[in-house]
Amino acid sequence: MRDISRYLEEAQAQKLRVTHVTETHIHADYLSGSRELAKATGARLLLSDEGGEGWRYTYDDGNQTRLRDGDTFMVGNVRIQAVHTPGHTPEHLSFLVTDTPRGDAPSMILTGDFVFVGDLGRPDLLDEAAGGQDTRFEGARQMFVSVRNKFLTLPDYVQVWPGHGSGSACGKALGAVPTTTVGYERALSWWGHMVEKGDEAEFTKELLSGQPDAPLYYGRMKLENRDGPALLGEVRPLVELSVEEVKVRLTAGARLIDTRKKEEHQAAVPVGSVNLPDGKTFETWAGWLLTPDRELILLAPGGRAEALRRRLWMVGLDRVIGFVPSAEGLETAPARPVPVPELDAHEGALILDVRASTEYGEGHIPGARQLHAGRLPWRLDTLPRDREIVVHCQGGARSAAAASLLRAEGFQVLELAGGYDAWAKAQKQEPPV
């Protein structure tokens, strides 16, 4: 994480020094804090030198060691071995961990986005979000070879510690528990029997099917992580802005991030604001709906503003200039969601479904256009400004955020109360004709 304070505090609490910093691959979901931590501590930064032209790291602060397949380094008595495991990305490394006083057999493997609990890393992100052309097929082939030749050659007892859990967009069916073992995945994973049989065609088909839409900010993350995330260095505390200062900044092009619950936001929408509620998905939705070219102001209590600012660093949104603790004094207007029975009164409106394409494929409102919320900022020019847009998701959370962005950009926007769930329920309750 780019907010390196937690690592520094943990090291100090355990009376340890940070001597090595590494990562498994050039990430797409968040900006990496590896460069920041290595710079702050004087540690060696160990990065993959695999992957070929175009997807090797391009920066070097003079503190780097480049790792190839089979390279090892020691941290005390612990030996770390780099294992090249391409598939999710061409340069991807996993790390075998051996506690040498107990012998030469590895005890665990840190798999990053290679092998998850119950799933594998998706090989289509370079196509989906980074401008690749059919790289997913080569990625799937590489994943098959990596699993067969690197992962399944390990003893069954080796613990597997992946980089993501349930809910990550880096796979489609990640398990909810944090760890697994090689033997468990060999026996019970969806892919184990395919690899054992050598059925690469079926493996590829299954791996590529049903992958969730990738938010388009992933492409920006890839490039910034490859070329070196901006160093934050010493950061000044976030300042509280007056209402008048906020108005001036908004007029000059700044964006107000309303971190209140969607119900509070809908009751009194500050003009020009985007609603990103303070919760587990805050930084993810920020990456979906915001771009780094604007100054940002947080509508959040003083006790939360600094923490939220640091979470925005995760997606490279560094230009937070201050916060305002309440909407009092700002120009606001209500934005009541439209109940399903009132939908017919908006004939001619574009029904915009901001769910993933897989959700849309499982059922949707007739005539609705699907556009994942994480692609909205880059697709605004494809939406009509001369008619209403009724936005919905599954239950109303994602669509509230998406609708707020469209509203801030000047579109005629309504939200469908309860989302697709409410619409589908209403269809079941209608008497047969």
Catalytic residues: 393
C-alpha–C-alpha distance, residues 91 and 119, integer Å:
20
CA torsion angle for 418, 419, 420, 424 (degrees, to 10)?
30
Provide the token pair at 143. 């994943």
Q: What Cα–Cα distance (Å) separates residue 415 from each residue in 228, 407, 411? A: 39, 11, 12
CA distance 294 to 257: 12
Question: For residue 324, what are the β-bridge partners?
Answer: 299
Contacts 24+ apart (CB under 8 A), 362-369: 363/420, 363/424, 364/420, 365/392, 365/420, 365/423, 368/392
Output DSSP code: residue 432.
Answer: P
Length of the chain, in residues = 433
| Percent composition of the chain: helix, strand, coil (DSSP 3-state, to 5) | 35, 20, 45
CB atoms within 10 A of CB 33: 21
Q: How far apart are CA 168 and CA 140, in angstroms?
A: 19
Report the distance separating Cα 237 and Cα 31, nearest Å.
21
Alpha helices in 22-162 (DSSP H): 34-41, 125-128, 135-146
Q: Are strands 108-112 and 93-99 parallel, antiparallel or unpaired?
A: antiparallel
Element (H, E) at 270: strand 269-270
Task: Read off φ and ψ for residue 181, nearest 5 degrees.
Answer: -135, 160
In this structure, how many other beta carbons lie within 10 angstroms of the beta carbon of residue 64?
17
Q: What whole-number distance in Å separates Cα of residue 312 and Cα of residue 30?
A: 10
**What 3-state DSSP class applies to 98?**
strand
Spatial strand order of the sheet with 20-22 comes to: 20-22, 44-48, 64-67
Closest of 72, 157, 79, 151 to residue 115, by C-alpha: 151
* Whole-angstrom distance, CA of residue 292 vs CA of residue 310: 14
Contact 257, 291 (CB under 8 A): no
